[in-house]
Amino acid sequence: MSGVVDRQRALREYVLRLGDLSLVLGQRLGEWIGHGPAIEEDLGIANTSLDLIGQARFLLTYAGELEGRGRDEDAIAFLREERDYRNPTLAEQPNGDFGQTIVRQVLIDAFQFELYAGLEDSGDERLAAIAAKALKETRYHLRFSGGWLVRLGDGTLESHARVQHALDLLWPYTVELFAEDEVDRAMAEAGIAPRLAAVQAAWSARIDQLLAEATLQRPKEQSYSWFGKRGQHSEHFGHLLSEMQYMQRTYPGASW
Partner 1 sequence: MRKACAGAASGRESSAWAALAQVEDPEIPALSLVDLGVIRFVRTQPGGVIEVGLSPTYSGCPATAVIRRSVAEALTREGLDPFTVTDVLAPAWTSDWISTEGRRKLAEYGIAPPSAPVASTQQLLQGDRPAACPRCGSTDSERVSEFGSTPCKALYRCRSCLEPYEYFKCI
d(CA 245, CA 165): 31
Q: How far is CA 246 from the centre of its chain?
A: 22
Q: Looking at 27-35, 89-97, 125-133, 160-168, which segment touches partner 1 (CB under 8 A)? A: 125-133
CB of residue 142 vs partner 1: minimum separation in angstroms? Answer: 7
- The answer to whether residue 132 forms part of the interface with partner 1 (CB under 8 A) is yes
Q: By rule CB under 8 A, what count of residues binds partner 1? A: 33
d(CA 47, CA 203): 23
- The answer to whether residue 144 forms part of the interface with partner 1 (CB under 8 A) is yes
Sole binder of partner 1 in the list 75, 117, 179, 190 (CB under 8 A): 117
- The answer to whether residue 202 forms part of the interface with partner 1 (CB under 8 A) is no
Which CB sits closer to partner 1, 54 or 219? 54
Sole binder of partner 1 in the list 9, 71, 80, 139 (CB under 8 A): 139
Q: How far is CA 12 from the centre of its chain?
A: 17
CB of residue 159 vs partner 1: minimum separation in angstroms? Answer: 19
Q: Looking at 40-48, 93-101, 151-159, 228-236, which segment touches partner 1 (CB under 8 A)? A: 40-48
Which CB sits closer to partner 1, 50 or 190? 50
d(CA 147, CA 71): 39
- Please provide the distance, in angstroms rounded to a whole number, between the alpha carbons at the two ends of the chain: 45
- The answer to whether residue 124 forms part of the interface with partner 1 (CB under 8 A) is no
- The answer to whether residue 143 forms part of the interface with partner 1 (CB under 8 A) is yes
Which CB sits closer to partner 1, 158 or 208? 208
- Binders of partner 1 among residues 146 to 165 (CB under 8 A) are 147
CB of residue 227 vs partner 1: minimum separation in angstroms? Answer: 27
- The answer to whether residue 199 forms part of the interface with partner 1 (CB under 8 A) is no
Neighbours of 212 (CB within 10 A): 12
Which CB sits closer to partner 1, 110 or 186? 110
- The answer to whether residue 114 forms part of the interface with partner 1 (CB under 8 A) is no
Binding site for partner 1 (CB under 8 A): 40, 43-44, 46-55, 57-58, 117, 125-126, 128-130, 132-137, 139-140, 142-144, 147
